Each structure stands twice: as structure tokens, then as C-alpha cells.
Amino acid sequence: MTATNDSLPAVAGGVPLRNEVLPFYRPAIDESDIKLVSDTLRSGWLTLGPVTTDLERELAEYLGVKNVIAVNSCSAAMFLALKALGVGPGDEVVTSAMTFTSTVNTIIHTGATPVLADIETETFCVSPQEIEKRTTPRTKAFMPVHFGGQACRIDEVLDLARSRGIRVIEDAAHSFGASYNGKKIGTFGDATAFSFYATKNLTTGEGGCLSTADDGLAKRLRQLSYHGMSHDSWSRYADRGAWFYEVNVPGYKCNMSDVLSALGLSQLRKVDELTARRTKVARWFIERLADSAYFELPRIRPGNQHTWHLFVIRLRLERLKIDRDTFTKALGAENIGCSVHFIPVYKHPFFRSYIDETDTYPVCEEYFSRCVSLPIFPSMREEDVDDVVTAMNRIAAYYERTQ
């Protein structure tokens, strides 16, 4: 609800535009989600079981891929894929310098060395040319990141990988439902990892999954995700008396539970509707900001179906007297949530030892200096978008550079 039309920004002493905070994100949970979770709780089967099996089957049908393995996070999915493909000490994995820390953490946890590649200006996805520049004889895998809800140039990444015998694990944490030239993300590389975190287009609160067309890889992933056992708990329970199992590899505990799977199953059955609502919010922003002198809008590469997990604008800093951090604080003072995606990996203290002094990331640097992620979620109203745009314009006009 709009509180005032006063032109002075709240951070400069004016009255906040909104009385109530517009959060950066609000989960889209309704009664159908609550009912399916409640039914699962009443069933008495809470861990890996029949609902998880149903979720995996419906995810595979939706993506158009043979195998889906539901796990407890996208981080676990990436780690398991790396392990199942034999990545380990002495190997290098090339990934994006503009990603969340979990992408790089999973590489380090295998004992391999992460190698960071710069992004491209158009989509903020990793640049295939930069991946090629960072490839060495030690490169075992590429881990391209589909940023914000649209695909990277995955065909070029795959061509490079196949010409050199390199495996491809896609980080599609942002991009469930996205497609590239009419083909769903999740059907391209050796394996694709998705996130079902609370802010994602499809949520289980915490969770994720792996998709792969490779039956042998899927079998290894299932064993690794559940203690290395040949049969999971539901398989043994469903087949009365079939208590026997074998441990063939020292696996991990990464499976998804039926309680979380129930939420995921309900969400999956309306994910296209939820994505359509996000797309409508994105269009409202684009319509209102298209002619702005202060803000540069996100772009969609032809052939991409964007799912709008993020709506990232870039400030035209040459027209403003403030930097990005001051702008985000000013927007927060108007009771409007926003964020920054992401702090480049090489700026975190822990990862600096993995960066050579000669490594440079000019596109990441330019992007990071002026990127702002605006609130976007399915239940946002048009008047919410109006408030965000009004606040942005109020701040920009007050801090406009006049010389």
C-alpha cells in the first residue's frame, strides 16, 4: 500500500513509499500444497518412499528425460554428479565466476580444483569462449550455470566438451522449466542439477534433483545418494521380507523425504502457472522501465524460454551520484526488498587461493558493480510493481548526476 507521493527518498529524510514491507520473495503455497503434505504425514511414511517415487516419475515426464533422482539439495545433486562421473583429486572443473558458493564448494569437496570462467554481458551466464580459455589437459568436467532462469549457450559448451572428452554437469538451480531452442533444460549434458529451495519456481522448502539420460549414471547416483545401498528403504518395505541389501560404494545420505516430495509434487502440477505469473510480473517491470535513463533491463537471447527466477536490472552508474550499495539501501528504506546475485566467487576470502594473480574477470566486475535483483514472485500485484518502479525512479532522480 502506497503511503505518500512525497518526492524525497526515505533514505534522505522522506517518508517511506510503502507502509508494509514488500519482501524480495514470498513462497507460493496454497491449500493444494498443504493438503498433499498433510495426506503424506497421515500416511505414516515420512522418509524416502512412494511419494518421492511419484515425484521422480512426474519430474522425468515434465523434463522429457529418462531418469530423475530427487535429493535433499541442489548442492548435493552437483556433488553426487561429480563423484559419479569420477571427478576427484588432480582434476579440474571449469565453472562460472558468477554463481553461488555451493557450485564451487561441491567441486572442492570432491578434491578437484575449481577453475573460474568469466560471464557474458547478454545473459550473465558463463561464456563458452571463456570456458575454452580456461580448459587444460587436467579438465575433467565443465559445470555451466544457467543464470536467473534462462539457459547459457549450452550447445556450444557441449560441442567443446565432446571434442575433448570432457563431461558436462549443468547447474540449473535457477532454471527449472526453462528451455533452449524448444528443448527443456535437464536434457542436454551428462547430468543436470536443479534446486527446489524456498525461492525457486518449484519449491520443496529444501531439496533438489538430478536428471540424466544415462541409465548407468542414474544407477550410480541412486546408490551414492542413499548410503551406497543396492535397495532403498521403500523398496525393502514394499517387498515384504526383502530385507537384504548390499553396499557397493561408500555412499552418502542425500535422499529426499516423502514429506518434502509431497510439496514438490503439488508444486510441479502447477509449475507452469507459477512461472506464467512470474513472467507477467517481469513484463510489468519491462513495460514500466523500458525507456528509463537510469536502469538497464535484462535481455533474453533468442531461442531461450526464460522462467524469471530472478529479475536483474543494472544501474547506469554514469547517470547517478551513488553506487549500487547505496541504491539498494535506499530501496530498502522505502520498505522494498531487493538483493544482489551474486558476489563473484573470487571475491570471497576462502576462494582467493584458487585464483591466479593473472586471472581477470572484467565482465563479472562490470556486472557486479551495478546489478540489483528486484522482487519477483507469483503473488506480486501490479500495484506492487508500480511501487517498486516509483521508488526506483524517486531514488534515481534525487541522486541524478547533473554534470
Considering the domain architecture, whether residues 64 and 133 belong to the same structural domain is answered as yes
Cα end-to-end distance, the chain, whole Å: 36
Domain termination site, one of 240, 268, 296? 268
Q: What cell was used for 138?
A: 587436467
Beta strand extents in 78-197 (DSSP E only): 92-96, 113-117, 139-143, 167-171, 179-180, 183-184, 191-195
What secondary structure letter does DSSP report for 308? -
- For residues 237 and 310, state if they share a domain: no
Instruction: Report the alpha-carbon distance of residue 279 to residue 282 in Å, rounded.
Output: 5
Each residue's pLDDT tens digit, 210-236: 999 999 999 999 999 999 987 665 565
Q: Where are the beta strands (DSSP E) in 266-317?
A: 295-296, 304-305, 311-315
Please list, in sequence order, all residues whose beta carbon lies within 8 angstroms of the beta carbon of residue 298, skipping any fewer than 6 positions away: 148, 311, 312, 313
In a domain, 59, yes or no: yes
- The owner of cell 520473495 is 25
Residues 120 and 17 in one domain: no
Find the helix or strand (DSSP H, E) in which 224 lies: helix 215-225
What is the residue type of 196?
F
Answer whether 160's CB lies under 8 Å from 181's CB: no
Distance in angstroms (rounded) separating the CA atoms of residues 341 and 367: 10
Edge-to-edge strand list for the sheet holding 208-212:
67-71, 208-212, 191-195, 167-171, 139-143, 92-96, 113-117
Judgement on whether residues 136 and 276 belong to the same structural domain of the protein: no
Residue 284: give the domain boundaries.
Answer: 10-26+271-398
Distance CA 91, CA 111 (A): 8
Same domain for 264 and 213, yes or no, is yes
Same domain, 178 and 254: yes
Are residues 56 and 200 located together in one domain of the fold?
Answer: yes
pLDDT of 7: 80
How many domains are there within the chain? 2
Is 200 part of the annotated catalytic residue set? yes
Q: Is 18 left (phi over 0), alpha (psi -120 to 50) or beta?
A: beta
Question: Which of 133, 200, 280, 347 is labelled catalytic?
Answer: 200
- CATH code for the domain in which residue 302 is found: 3.90.1150.10
On whether residue 85 sits in a domain, the answer given is yes
233 and 275 co-located in one domain: no
The residues, any chain, with a CB within 8 Å of residue 105's CB and separated by 6 or more, are 75
Judge whether 171 and 248 are in contact, CB under 8 Å.
no
Burial level of 235, CB count in 10 A (0-12/13-18/19+)? middle
Rounded to an integer, what distance in angstroms lies between the CA atom of residue 175 and that of residue 197? 12
User: How far apart, in Å, are the Cα atoms of 227 and each of 160, 184, 220, 302?
Assistant: 34, 31, 11, 43
Residue with cell 514394499: 238
Examine residue 383 and state whether it is found in any structural domain, yes or no: yes
Contact 326, 338 (CB under 8 A): no
Look at residue 4 in the predicted model and tell me its pLDDT: 45
Domain contains 3? no
* Contacts within 8 Å (CB) and 24+ apart, 324-330: 324/369, 324/370, 324/371, 324/372, 326/399, 327/372, 327/395, 327/399, 328/372, 329/11, 330/9, 330/10, 330/11, 330/12, 330/395, 330/399
Residues with pLDDT less than 70, the chain: 1-6, 231-241
Whether residue 183 lies inside any domain: the answer is yes
Same structural domain for residues 338 and 292? yes
Residue 135 within a domain:
yes
Torsion of CA 347, 348, 349, 355, to 10 degrees: -60
- Is 243 part of a structural domain of the chain? yes
**Which CATH number belongs to the domain containing residue 129 in this structure?**
3.40.640.10
SS3 track for 9-27: CHHHCCCCCECCCECCCCC
Q: Which amino acid is at 362?
A: P
Tell which of 228, 244, 268 closes a domain. Answer: 268
Q: Say whether both 264 and 292 belong to one domain.
A: no
Residues 39 and 21 in one domain: no
Whether 103 is covered by a domain: the verdict is: yes
Instruction: Identify whether residues 123 and 262 lie together within a single domain.
Output: yes
Question: Among 268, 302, 325, where does a domain finish?
Answer: 268
pLDDT of residue 246: 87
